[in-house]
Amino acid sequence: MLKNKRKFKTVDLFAGIGGIRIGFESAGFETIYANDFDKKAAETYNLNFGDIDSSDLFDVIKKNKMERIPKRFDILLGGFPCQPFSLAGHRRGFADSRGDLLFAVIEILKIRKPKAIFLENVKYLKHHDDEKTFTRIRDELKSVGYDIKAEVLNSMHYGNVLQTRERIYIVGFRSPRTLMRFHFPDKMAS
């Protein structure tokens, strides 16, 4: 928990039922806005945490409803849709409308400019379309001011999770100095 410091504020996009939120809040962060378009996920999220915006992010951006998203927050969290990049799916990438949702995140970053980002997706994202997809994501994030580090981690090695769940985690900062100091965690001892 953060001691004697202000709580960093997060915006949780593609919030699902709140898994990423739980991790960040247990480390002392404060969630000030959450969004998930999936009605069932939003219903469960509301039962767990309270208010969630279930608007389509593209509608929020295209219809000038950005006032829904707080003007000031420290970290954008986002487990953006994985189906377009998963080996289990059709692997259509950005040709799939769900894959395009990443560009809604880019627009929000461009306008709100939080200090940091934390994105999560399937491990195959790193290799999708001969790594062109990941390169484009990295370049898009760089174009709006974020340098990133990315790592595929298996959650069973980093917490009390009883399943193998390999995911790619993308962490970015506006400050190159902060990015240099950031390191992914070491595996927990068995």
- Rg of the chain over Cα atoms, rounded to whole angstroms, equals 16
Nearest Cα residue to 174 out of 154, 145, 151: 145
Alpha-carbon gap, residue 31 to 22, rounded angstroms:
10
Active site annotation includes 82: yes
Cβ neighbourhood burial of 177 (10 Å; 0-12, 13-18, 19+): exposed
Catalytic residue, chosen from 34, 42, 60, 82, is 82
Coil, helix or strand for 11?
strand
Catalytic center residues:
82
